[in-house]
Amino acid sequence: MALVNSPAYVGREVGLGGLKLRTKIGRIYINGKRVSSGYITPFTNVVFRSESAKYYIFVQISEEMWNFEEDGSLYHEKAILFLEDLFSRWDHIGTNHIVSIVLFARVFYTDEEAARVPQPVLLSETGRHYKDFYKVYAHF
């Protein structure tokens, strides 16, 4: 109700009743058509959407990451290009996401290696010894 009888335009920053919320008008629709400005009445439908989220991106490190694809590029290069493209898109639309990139791998051991590796070494359904590793690579 704090916005009733006020102008609305794309990019306008709005304070809500003295609360410390940083809000900005991103899109305005009148009768289903996108417009750049309008006027807020008691009958205006206001929709709030967040431009921020918390993401955990898990990247599996495996032997295949160092193999070549049919086009000659390495799989780990494609993973890096994907992340660059994703972050560029988020930057272009002005999001404020919190991102953690977690690298993980599963290492399998022979019976002799498993005896020498610091515990805990787990046993798969197929009877192979393994250990999982996780590393938070980046948090921003």
Distance CA 97, CA 87 (A): 10
3-state class (DSSP) for residue 126:
coil
Residue-level pLDDT at 20: 66
Helix H segments across the chain?
75-93, 111-116
C-alpha distance from residue 40 to each of 44, 46, 62, 85 (Å) = 6, 9, 55, 37
How do residues 50-95 score in pLDDT, each as one tens digit?
888 999 999 999 999 999 999 999 999 999 999 999 999 999 988 8
Cβ atoms of residues 108 and 125 within 8 Å: no
Residue ranges covered by each domain of the chain: 6-40, 54-139
Q: Select from 49, 41, 43, 44 the least CA-distant residue to 25.
A: 49
How do residues 95-112 score in pLDDT, each as one tens digit?
889 999 999 999 999 999
Q: Is the pLDDT of residue 17 over 70?
A: no
